[in-house]
Amino acid sequence: MTHQHDRKAEAILNNLKNANRKMNDSPVTLLARVALSVIYMYLILISYELLGISGPVFISSVFLVAFFIPYFYHRFAGRAHKRKDEESALTAAEEARQEG
């Protein structure tokens, strides 16, 4: 093997080791994930019993929307923060013009 292949293999091995370290969560986290999975499963089952096939579709779409809420919040909050900063800069510039 060449040195380039050795470096690539070593980088891949390091990435796998880092991923393995990140995957080793505490037992409490694992228990919480299992509990949430079971609750989700029962929620899907109950929604199917009550609403037919539209129940699981509705529950799944609600969970997908809930999954992306932090992304949309940060995106819109950042946009609102930028707008607020621009408005404060404009008002400061207008005040400076009025004083001058």
Residue 2: band (very low, low, confident or very high) from pLDDT cuts 50, 70, 90: low
Of the candidates 42, 41, 44, 40, the residue with the CA atom closest to the CA atom of residue 52: 44
- pTM of the full structure: 0.46
**% of the chain exceeding 90 in pLDDT:** 9
Nearest to 59 by CA among 68, 47, 70: 47
CA angle, residues 55, 43, 57, in degrees to nearest 5: 25
What residues does each domain of the chain span? 1-52, 53-100
CB 47 within 8 A of CB 59: yes
The pLDDT tens digits for 11-51 are 888 888 877 776 666 788 888 888 988 998 899 899 999 98
Tokens 């199917």, residue? 48
Q: Using the 8-state DSSP alphabet, how is residue 66 labeled? A: H
